[in-house]
Structure 1
Amino acid sequence: MNIDDHGKASLLADIGLVGFLTLIGLTTVLVDLSQHPIWSTVYLAITMMLMLVTYFYGLIPGLLSNLLFVFGQIVSAAYVSLQLHQEVPLRMTIWLVLPGLLCLTLAVMMRHQQELQLRNHQLRNRLVEQGAFDAQTNLRTMVAFQKDARMYLENHRQFNLPVTMLVIRIRYFQELEKMLSQEQSQRLLKLISSVLSQESRDNNLTYFLNRQTPTWGMILHTEERVAQEITERLKQHFNEQLARDPQLKMLDTSLIAGIACWNSEDMENPYDLMHRSIRETEYDV
């Protein structure tokens, strides 16, 4: 799926959602205004079952079920009119088409959402294969950092934008690792990765740089003062999430951070910036 196909699928999914919600609203109004609430309630319940059939089995089974429902309505209307000699309200004919429209819009929305999910899954797998994406933490890796950092440095040279790198590590991780089970260790890594992802803005890229000594990095177009504020928020958010986690709340640990700003006079490449940030973590007491 190329970019145009992705945009088309996204648009059709949105159209399907809007159409589905519109029909749901129309159905609610019709049931509320109906002079035959019992029949409307029964038809509404059947419509919900038809939507469940469409959701779990697809459009074709859903439409076939709708045809059976339409046939049932025609038979029941004929029985009421011919045998009971009662008039069937014209307003009830809306139920001949409304369930089918609901199932159709639901199917359109689901189909294109599934296409988008499939494309995202394929893209994620492709990034993992290229080494630019860590499947466990859902963060970018050292491979991606090399490419992204060069782009940031180029922006610095062209537009004089500040480039700052923030590195996060776990305090006393070597000692802590001996007390943790593998499941707890993985859970801790995911928790920290989640905190960084939530705190990072759209223009701040977050990385998982080292698995042996868990190291996270964030590269920013900002001043050191702002990076320090982000660091404090990260630490506070981590402490809050750690206290809420049933498996990790007993841990006595915290994050340490190092911040370094790009200086072309004593730095030559992105690795210099990263190593300077890592060294700065030693002074975070």
Structure 2
Amino acid sequence: MLLVVILAMFLGLTPANLLLNFFYLGVSIFLVMMTYFFDLTAGLVLNLLFILLQGTLMLYLNVVRNQTVPLALAFWLFMPILLSITFYGMTYQLQQLQAENQKMHDEMVQLGAFDEETNLRTLVSYIQDASVFLETSRRYDLPVTTLVLKIRYFEEMRRMLTGEQMREVIKLVSETIKASTRGNDIVYILDRENLSWGVLLFTDLPGAKIVANRIKDQFAKQVENSVALKGTEVLLVVGIAAYDQKKMSSAYELMNAAAKETEYDV
């Protein structure tokens, strides 16, 4: 940022006014903080009061005491208000971006495309994204596979676990899948009622099996280290299906093929 560079250069070029510079730097930081925690109007009022006091001091030194006004005083006359306005503008833009992200998040939740608890996409998004994956596979001859992950003996586990433990399971599975996949592999929660997750990958079956084993291994470690699930055996089953354009015509067929494979993961 240009103002910070100018400030650093000024401090470096005026070592004789070290104490004076650091005093005014402290005042500037205080004014910036007041602008940040309150609002721009309050910050401007405080900065104008500072300029008034600073200007009065400079007139007193020049007119009454007939002294040359130090360069440091002239520099610090306007630097605080410039810093306050600049930092307020930066924080305002950041707040606007955060507000837009929250709005997008809320819209996705309302459309059913985003799960609020896990921050994962849902079945709606899976079908939309999988259609893009399949079209890309057909066009560029890229391998596409999907994983479907479930809790082994889920109905029995649901009766045994408390609500807190079930939330911990959902959290651990979701976090483990995200941590065990690459950035371009997309993770979904496909069914909240019967708890199943999905992953779309641009890889072949051997590559998908490596990912599946990594997820299962990492999840086992997470369960072992979980206080809420201490003494509870929670296991994942994973089904893997590769897209075959001769046999599959839709994203549902790919997903259902992987879901069917979970029955054989022993």
The one-letter code of the counterpart of 2:169 is L
Tell me what 1:62 maps to.
43
Q: How does 1:2-17 map to 2 (within 5 A)?
A: none
SS of the residue corresponding to residue 112 of structure 2 reads coil
Size of the alignment, in residue pairs?
Answer: 265
Tell me what 2:88 maps to.
107
The one-letter code of the counterpart of 1:217 is G
Q: How does 1:139-178 map to 2 (within 5 A)?
A: 139-178=120-159
C-alpha change, 1:24 and 1:275, in structure 2 (3 Å) is same
The one-letter code of the counterpart of 2:22 is T
Q: How does 1:1-285 map to 2 (within 5 A)?
A: 19=1, 22-28=2-8, 30-31=10-11, 33-79=14-60, 88-242=69-223, 245-248=226-229, 251-285=232-266
C-alpha change, 1:96 and 1:271, in structure 2 (3 Å) is same
| TM-score normalised by L of structure 2 | 0.85
CA–CA separation in structure 1 for the residues paired with 2:152 and 2:75 = 66
Which segment drifts farther, 229-238 or 112-121?
Answer: 229-238
Asked if the contact 2:223/2:234 (under 8 Å) is kept, the reply is no
The one-letter code of the counterpart of 1:125 is D
CA–CA separation in structure 1 for the residues paired with 2:65 and 2:233 = 78
C-alpha change, 1:130 and 1:80, in structure 2 (3 Å) is same
SS of the residue corresponding to residue 219 of structure 2 reads helix
The one-letter code of the counterpart of 2:20 is W
- Measure how far apart 1:215 and its partner are: 0.8
Per-residue Cα deviation, 1:187-213 (whole angstroms, up to 9, x for no partner)? 331332233334443432221101122
Gaps of 5+ in 2: none
SS of the residue corresponding to residue 274 of structure 1 reads helix
C-alpha change, 1:94 and 1:248, in structure 2 (3 Å) is farther
Per-residue Cα deviation, 1:57-116 (whole angstroms, up to 9, x for no partner)? 222221221111122222334455566776542133221122122111111111111221
SS of the residue corresponding to residue 213 of structure 1 reads coil
CA–CA separation in structure 2 for the residues paired with 1:225 and 1:47 = 60
- Measure how far apart 1:233 and its partner are: 3.0
- Measure how far apart 1:157 and its partner are: 2.2
Gaps of 5+ in 1: 1-18
CA–CA separation in structure 2 for the residues paired with 1:258 and 1:64 = 64
- Measure how far apart 1:155 and its partner are: 1.9
Asked if the contact 2:17/2:72 (under 8 Å) is kept, the reply is no
The one-letter code of the counterpart of 2:78 is V
What percent of counterpart residues are identical?
36
- Measure how far apart 1:181 and its partner are: 3.1
Tell me what 1:13 maps to.
none
Per-residue Cα deviation, 1:233-280 (whole angstroms, up to 9, x for no partner)? 323443454455554465432433221112244434322221221222
SS of the residue corresponding to residue 189 of structure 1 reads helix
Which segment drifts farther, 253-262 or 192-201?
Answer: 192-201
C-alpha change, 1:76 and 1:250, in structure 2 (3 Å) is farther
| TM-score normalised by L of structure 1 | 0.80
